[in-house]
Every structure is written in structure tokens, then in C-alpha cells.
Amino acid sequence: MLKLELDPDMQNRARKAAASIAGSFQWLFDDYSSVTIERTVLRLLGIDGATEDGTPYPNIVVDHLQQRNALLRGAAIPLANAIIYTGMSAQQIAEEIAQGNLDLTKTPVASPDKIFQVLDELSDKMLKHIAKQRETREQLLQTYGPRRIPAIYVIVATGNIYEDVIQAKAAAYEGADIIAVIRSTAQSLLDYVPYGATTEGFGGTYATQENFRIMRAALDEVSASEKRYIGLTNYASGLCMPEIAAMGAMERLDHMLNDAMYGILFRDINPKRTLLDQYFSRMINAYAGIEIQTGEDNYLTTSDAIEKAYTVTASQLLNEQFALLSGVKPEKMGLGHAFEIDPDLEDSFTYELAHALLTRELFPGYPVKYMPPTKFATGNIFKTYLMDAMFNFAGKLTHQGVQLLGMMTEAIHTPHLADRSLAIENALYIFNAIKSLDENITLVPDSFINRRANKVLKEATEFLERVEKEGLFKAMERGEFADIKRTENGGKGLNGVFRKDVEYFNPFLEKMKKELGL
Amino acid sequence: MKHNIIRPYGDKSGDGKVQLSFTLPVPPDDWGKEAAKQLLKQMGFEDIIICGIRDLHEGFTHFIAYAVTPCSVDSSKIKVKKVDTPVMEMEEVDEFIKENIGRKITVVGACIESDAHTVGIDAIMNMKGYNHRYGLERYQWFNAINLGAQVPCEELLRRAREENADAVLVSQVVTQNNIHIHNLTRLIELAETEKLRDKMLFICGGPKISHELAIELGYDAGFGPGTYANEVASYIAVTLAKKLAQKS
């Protein structure tokens, strides 16, 4: 077995610093909410659909309350009040508001007891549905057996959900274990979730609840015929993080890209908005048994993969601590990293092994997610195919949880059907060829790999301790993460963050916290 | 004249052998193979060998083939539109600007509209650059402002005007449904409306961008894959110096 000897003191110091950084945001989690969190509550209370011009009803209701300065208690209380007063369903109320027939601030006020009773019933109904979805997944995994290690993860991105289904099914029949439907490229910056089945997108397909449902049904069909559970992934990121998590929970998605800091650094979304939204979205994921995945690969595509290797480790540790605060269990934390070292560098693969083992051993039992070479994929498909093979070799040898397969046509186009198939063939060949190789080999004492892994861990620890002292926002302001500078009050979406009133109530937050033991 | 005729080379001069790979919505059997052959015949290929057949499921099959093309190219008829300014190294570019322009050159760059992929603009602009070639931020005589991804055209132009930019750099990586053409055209049209088009150089880059395409779209220059920062820097420096010389 390839086994590192990681300095236990250093591990403790790194985790302690990361925990202290994540823990310093309790004020934000306790005292604030955001427009997308409120829209999530409305979705979970049964509001769906969109007006003819495409504005989703959850947005209509939240905007309606915000314009009347009536959102500070959250969206749940005014909605429940209107349900009691009108006798209509949540959906009907949203439609009446859109028509201009109803003003939530002008309905007579019901007694708190009645309001809480309505919210209790509605939230119970939804939480039961989500729990049922979670049980269905667990049951299917039990019937079909556990997931392959590493699980084979591929992406579809045609822009058309029906075309995506064809490609996803083909990939699943060939051996893919997890399908990710890449989102249309601008979706992370939309402050609403589009509605319905979609057939046009750029660089991907819109994440909508209907699209989730269509793909989940298609993959269930393959799971049943292949006797292998095919997981489905989407992206709970951007300005609608918790809404997408909720949609995924309702439709039984199995994984969600859900990074605590990605939106801040790589999409210029306001830091407070992002941290707040990730807190609630991860809680939904935790409750639904959805495995979260984090985007540390992005640190290496913008910076040098050796010099900045420690930023990956540091971010993994921060993501871990933020996830724990939301009740995500380690076995559901797919912390990310990537195979992005310059292939021209001598011993590049040896470095990669050191980094891959570091992630593996720092997070034992976590379904860590390994990302393929992209930065040095230049359009020479033959070379890229070879690099992908080396990547698959490293992934299998070090038992990564999820292997996001590289495509030989990286940097050329979104994968063609045959590109994806060749990538799966590559992985299946290597996984089979070195199935038990790891049981036969060890690292020599004082190996370069061991020294390198400890060096990265030490750099990450010192970095986290510096950030702890300085504060996360200050560190981001100085460009300490990925050389990108972000300010506390800069970026998109800050105007959607608000301080909660003392009477604020979010039935899902309360119940999920209780259920998750937070 | 024979040496002017260009044909693909397999293992003998002018044998015309090419390697092909494509997918058809056919089953992986003799019937499907015949469909693949007929397609290649229609494309004008001869001596077709289908050497690989892979079942892609859901009714699709992947074919790998070798064939001979009767086509050839007359070397005297090849014309390429490309950036023809001399290429200098970073230090030489800085020296050139110092001597010929005498002030820092301001460049504002971005990945515009829906495109979220900064790899191209970062390779050219970021301090670190790409493959050991530093980006414009590292140049002493460049004031490089990288606005990052998903920047609306309006925002890019507003910033370029504010900074009194000498050049605007645009990267477009996503090309599905020709979205890059759409975005690049929109930027140039807006620049014209806002009377900025002639005040600064407009340069685009990306995996599917060529100089020829860039000129067609109304840009000053275009750079394709594999371009390093010093090539772009050289072009900007030399072109601006020429413009200044013309003015004085």
C-alpha cells in the first residue's frame, strides 16, 4: 500500500485553524438571510412554476415582499398567513400575487399558533418527501451494490436536455457511474432559476427542476437494466445555491457541486452572500443525503499547480469545516483536487502522486473528487489522451472517490459522443489493469513523495494560521486565494442579503438543524 | 511543378493517406460499416479501410478509418492572413515601448458576456502567464487590467473609456452555436455606437479565433490557440508606435 506518514501535529493545527476560520461566521449564519434562501423556503412550501414572461413564482413573491419591506421576518410567515386568510394553496397565492390580486402585507393577521401550525404541516410534508427520496437512493444502492472506486464521472453539456439524455444513457451503458449535466455558462449569475424543460443553452444545459426530473428518470431506467446505480450531479452554486439544492433534494439528485468559496473567487459573487447561501444549501444537501463536491481544481487552473498546491489543501480543509457546520457528514464530502501539473516538468507524475495521496489520507473515507488535466490539454488529442491515462492511473492507484474523466478533446469542444466513450474505455482499462497493484507496493522510507506531501501540508497549515489571524475576508481582499482579490462588500448579490427580524422564521432551517443535530 | 503540389503523407511521398474518426447513428454491424464506407466515398475518399468499430450504445457507432484522398493543394495558391508584426521577448517589448512610445500602454481585457472561461485571457494577462511566458501584468511598460469572466460588453467599454485604454483584449472560449461570433460582433457594434472603435485597438483571441476571422468581424487583430503574451504585446506595441508615428 502506498501510505504517507503525515505529521499528526500539523494535521491538528491545520484543522484547528480551518475550524476557527469557519466558526467565525456564526454571526452571519445566525442573523442574516438572503433572497434566494427565502425563495428556497417558498419552493419547499410548494411554490413552483413561472409567469408567461418566465419570471419564477418564488421570485415574484419574494420581490413582492421585499418591495413592501416585509421580507425581514422571512417569506414563510406572510405566506402562511395568506393561506389561512384565503384558504388557497401556496401556489394559488403566488399566482394571485403575480396577477396583482393579492397583497401579502394587507391580509388580516392570523394568530401565531395558526401560522406555525400551517407551516409545520407544509414543511413536514416536504421533508417527508425529501427523506423518502433519500431512502429510495439508499435502498437502490443496497440492491445494486456499492459504487465503484473511483466512481467514473462524466459530463454532458449539449444545451438540450433531451439530447443530454441520449448522451448520458449511452455513457452510463458504457460504464459511467455518475453523470453531471453542466449548466449553461451564465446561469451562476442569474438571480432566479429558469423553469421547465429547456432545449437551448450555451456550453451547457440550464439547471431546472424539470430537467432534473427528466434526467433522473432516464438514469433510473439505465440503473435498473444495468443493476448499477447511476448518480446524477448538478451545481448548487452561483446566486441560487440553496434553491438548486432544494430542487435536487426533491428530484433525488445524488451529488451537488457546492463549494463554500468558489462563487466568491471565480464568479465574483459577494462573499457574505456566498457564505450565507452555502450554509443553508449544504444543510439541505446534508438532509437529503446528497454528496457535495467542491471546486479546488480551479485554484490550479489559475495558478501554478506545484507552487500553489497548498491552496488546494487549505481550501479542502475550509470546505470541510464549513460543511460540518451545516451537518454534512464526512462520507458525503467530495472534496476536490486536480491533476494539473505541467507535463513537461520532470517527475510531474511523482508530484501528482504525492498530492493525490495527501488528499486521500488527509480525508480518509471521504469520497474525494479528482479532476483531470485541462490546463495543459492543448488540442493535441493524442497527447491529452495519454495524460488522461496517467491521471486515471494515479486516481486508481490512490483510491480516489470520484474520477472526473478527462476528455481528449478538452480545449476544443464540449465532448462528442465518441470522445466520452473513449474516455470511459481508457478508465475501465486502467482500473481493471491495476486493480490490486496498490496491495503490492510501498513507498521507500523518507521518499520524495512523503516529503512533498508533508511540505504541502505544512504550507497549507501556515497559510490557514495566517488567514485565521487576519480573517478570511481580509485575506481574500489581499488576493491570498488564487491571486484573486475580492472585497467583503464587493461582488454580485449583496443587495439580496438582509438582517433578520427577531420574529424571523424559516421552518426548514429549524427542522433540519434539529434533525442533523446542529 | 510537382514540388508545388501538397498531398497528405502517410509513409510515402504523396500517398494521400488520412486518418478519420466519426460517429454515425447506425448499429455496429456490417450494415453500419457499409454506411460509413459510403459516406467516406461521397467525401471523395478512396482505398477506404474501416479499422475500428466501437459500439457507443443508444444506436450510435464510432468508426475509425484510414483512406486516401485524391485532393491536393497548390502551394503557390496559399494565402494566409496573419499578424505580421515582428515578435519580441518581454524585455525587448518593454524596451521598445520605452523608446518608441515613452509611456505605459493601457490594456483592458475580459472574457465577455456569457463566457465564464478565463483560461485564455489569464494566459495572456495574468502575471504568471502560461508555459513560462509571463503575462502582460508582468511587463513594466504595460498597465494591464484584467476584468475576468462574464463581463458585459457595456462594462468592458465603460472601463476602457475610463482608463483611456490603448487596447481592448477580448477572449472567447465557449463557441457552442457560434456564441463567440455573436458576442464579438456585439462588442464591436457597441464600440462603434459609442465612438470608441477608432480610439483604441480591438483584439480578440480564443481557440476558434483566427486573424482572418477577427478582421472579418471588424477587429484589428485575432490570435488563435497557442499564442503567448509576448506575441500579443509585440503586436500592440509595434502597431501603436506606427500609429503615433503617422500622427506626428
Q: Which residues of A touch B57 (CB under 8 A)?
A: 169-170, 173-174
Residue A190, amino acid: L
Q: How many CB atoms lie within 10 A of CB A125?
A: 12
Note whether A309 and A431 are same-domain residues: yes
- B150 and A266 in contact by Cβ < 8 A? no
Q: Which has the minimum average pLDDT: A12-16, A512-516, B71-75, B243-247?
A: B243-247
Find out whether A131 and A290 touch, Cβ atoms under 8 Å: no
Task: Report the half-sphere exposure of A402 (CA within 13 A, side-chain side).
Answer: 34
Q: Which helix (H) or strand (E) holds A151?
A: strand A151-156
Query: Helix, strand or coil for residue A73?
Result: coil
Going by C-beta distance under 8 Å and a sequence separation of 6 or more, which residues neighbour residue B26? B32, B35, B36, B59, B60, B61
Burial (0-12, 13-18, 19+ Cβ within 10 Å), A420: buried
Nearest-neighbour CA in chain B from A321: distance (Å): 28
Q: How many CB atoms lie within 10 A of CB A393?
A: 19
Say what the pLDDT of residue A23 is. Answer: 97
Find out whether B28 and B58 touch, Cβ atoms under 8 Å: no
Rounded to a whole number of angstroms, the CA Rg of chain A reads: 23
Q: Which three cell numbers stand for residue A46?
A: 410548494
Q: What is the mean pLDDT of residues A74-79?
A: 98
A297 included as an active-site residue: yes
List all residues of chain A from 336 to 375 with a beta carbon under 8 Å from chain B: 342, 374-375
Note whether A242 and A378 are same-domain residues: yes
Residue A40 lies in a domain: yes
User: CA-to-CA distance for B105 and B93, rounded, in angstroms?
Assistant: 11
B26, B58, B119 from A158: Cα distances, Å: 20, 16, 21
Nearest-neighbour CA in chain A from B57: distance (Å): 5
End-to-end CA distance of chain B: 48
- A184 and B149 in contact by Cβ < 8 A? no
The residue of chain A with its CA nearest to that of B64 is A418
Task: Report the half-sphere exposure of A36 (CA within 13 A, side-chain side).
Answer: 30
- What confidence tens digit (pLDDT) does each residue in A143-186 have? 999 999 999 999 999 999 999 999 999 999 999 999 999 998 77
A331 in reach of chain B (CB within 8 A)? no
Residue A485 lies in a domain: no
A380 in reach of chain B (CB within 8 A)? no
Q: Which residues of A touch B207 (CB under 8 A)?
A: 379, 411-412
Q: Number of folded domains in chain A?
A: 2
Residue A480 lies in a domain: no
Regions of chain B where pLDDT drops below 50? 1
Q: Which three cell numbers stand for residue A38?
A: 427565502
Question: Which string of DSSP letters, residue by residue, matches A449-485?
Answer: HHHHHHHHHHHHHHHHHHHHHH-HHHHHHTTTTTT--
- A418 and B23 in contact by Cβ < 8 A? yes
Q: What ipTM describes this predicted complex?
A: 0.89
Residue A17 lies in a domain: no
Query: Helix, strand or coil for residue A257?
Result: strand
A141 in reach of chain B (CB within 8 A)? no
Note whether A68 and A190 are same-domain residues: no
Residue A253 lies in a domain: yes
Largest Cα–Cα distance of chain B, in whole Å? Answer: 73
Domains and CATH numbers, chain B: 2-74 (3.30.30.60), 90-247 (3.40.50.280)
User: CA-to-CA distance for B6 and B27, rounded, in angstroms?
Assistant: 37
Say whether pLDDT at A110 is over 60: yes
User: CA-to-CA distance for A75 and A40, rounded, in angstroms?
Assistant: 10
User: CA-to-CA distance for A388 and A383, rounded, in angstroms?
Assistant: 9
Say what the pLDDT of residue B1 is. Answer: 44
Question: Which string of DSSP letters, residue by residue, matches A308-374?
Answer: THHHHHHHHHHHHHHHHHTT--GGGEE-EEE--S-TTSTTHHHHHHHHHHHHHHHSTTS--EEE---
Note whether A77 and A111 are same-domain residues: yes
A160 in reach of chain B (CB within 8 A)? no
**CB nearest A421 (choices: B22, B56, B118):** B56
Nearest-neighbour CA in chain A from B58: distance (Å): 5
Point out which residues pair with A181 in neighbouring strands: A156
Going by C-beta distance under 8 Å and a sequence separation of 6 or more, which residues neighbour residue A426? A385, A388, A389, A392, A405
A202 in reach of chain B (CB within 8 A)? yes
Note whether A268 and A316 are same-domain residues: yes
Note whether A79 and A199 are same-domain residues: no
User: CA-to-CA distance for B89 and B2, rounded, in angstroms?
Assistant: 39
Q: Which three cell numbers stand for residue A67?
A: 418591495
- B226 and A418 in contact by Cβ < 8 A? no
- What confidence tens digit (pLDDT) does each residue in A180-207 have? 999 987 788 899 999 999 999 888 999 9
Residue A456 lies in a domain: no
Q: Which residues of B touch A173 (CB under 8 A)?
A: 57-58
User: Among A449, A471, A500, which residue terminates a domain?
Assistant: A449
Say what the pLDDT of residue B3 is. Answer: 59
Note whether A150 and A119 are same-domain residues: no
Find out whether B112 and B156 touch, Cβ atoms under 8 Å: yes
Find out whether A327 and A287 touch, Cβ atoms under 8 Å: yes
Residue B236, amino acid: I
Q: Edge-to-edge strands of the sheet including B60-68? A: B17-24, B60-68, B46-57
In the DSSP assignment, the letter for residue A72 is T
Angle of the A271-288 helix axis to the A241-250 helix axis, nearest 10: 10
Residue A429 lies in a domain: yes
> Of B126, B176, B180, B228, which to mutate for an interface test with A (greatest number of A Cβ within 10 Å)?
B176
Q: Which residues of A touch B205 (CB under 8 A)?
A: none
Find out whether B143 and B150 touch, Cβ atoms under 8 Å: no
User: Among A449, A464, A479, which residue terminates a domain?
Assistant: A449
Closest C-alpha to A369, from A315, A425, A433: A315
Burial (0-12, 13-18, 19+ Cβ within 10 Å), A298: buried
Say what the pLDDT of residue A429 is. Answer: 98
**CB nearest B58 (choices: A169, A200, A418):** A169
Note whether A114 and A177 are same-domain residues: no
Closest C-alpha to B61, from B22, B98, B89: B22
Q: How many CB atoms lie within 10 A of CB B89?
A: 14
Nearest-neighbour CA in chain A from B45: distance (Å): 22
Say what the pLDDT of residue A413 is. Answer: 85
CA A50 distance to own-chain centroid: 25
- B179 and A202 in contact by Cβ < 8 A? yes
Q: Which of B128, B195, B208, B247 is catalytic?
A: B128
Q: Which has the minimum average pLDDT: A43-57, A241-255, A294-308, A377-391?
A: A294-308
Query: Helix, strand or coil for residue A510?
Result: helix
Q: Which three cell numbers stand for residue A385?
A: 489522451
Note whether A367 and A225 are same-domain residues: yes
Say whether pLDDT at A224 is over 80: yes
- What confidence tens digit (pLDDT) does each residue in A264-285 have? 988 889 999 999 999 999 999 9
- Cα-flanking dihedrals φ and ψ of residue B66, to 5°? -120, 145
Question: Average pLDDT over chain A, rounded to whole?
Answer: 96
User: Among A59, A89, A123, which residue terminates a domain?
Assistant: A123
Q: Which of A177, A297, A388, A419 is catalytic?
A: A297
Q: Which helix (H) or strand (E) holds B123?
A: helix B119-125
Which pTM does this prediction carry?
Answer: 0.88
Q: What percent of chain A has pLDDT over 70?
A: 100
CA A246 distance to own-chain centroid: 12
Q: Which residues of A touch B62 (CB under 8 A)?
A: 417-418, 421-422
Q: Which residues of A touch B150 (CB under 8 A)?
A: 185-186, 189, 267
CATH number for position A357: 3.20.20.440
Note whether A112 and A233 are same-domain residues: no
Q: Which residues of A touch B174 (CB under 8 A)?
A: 185, 202-203
- A483 and B21 in contact by Cβ < 8 A? no
Note whether A378 and A431 are same-domain residues: yes
Nearest-neighbour CA in chain B from A414: distance (Å): 8
Q: Which residues of B touch A222 (CB under 8 A)?
A: none
Q: Which helix (H) or strand (E) holds B172?
A: none
Note whether A36 and A170 are same-domain residues: no
**CB nearest A412 (choices: B115, B177, B207):** B207
Q: Which helix (H) or strand (E) holds A158?
A: none
Find out whether A376 and A340 touch, Cβ atoms under 8 Å: yes
B79 included as an active-site residue: no
User: CA-to-CA distance for B206 and B219, rounded, in angstroms?
Assistant: 14
Residue A79 lies in a domain: yes
A389 in reach of chain B (CB within 8 A)? no
Going by C-beta distance under 8 Å and a sequence separation of 6 or more, which residues neighbour residue A492? A189, A239, A267, A268, A269, A270, A273
User: CA-to-CA distance for B246 and B236, rounded, in angstroms?
Assistant: 15
- B114 and A184 in contact by Cβ < 8 A? yes
Query: A274: domain range?
Result: 146-449
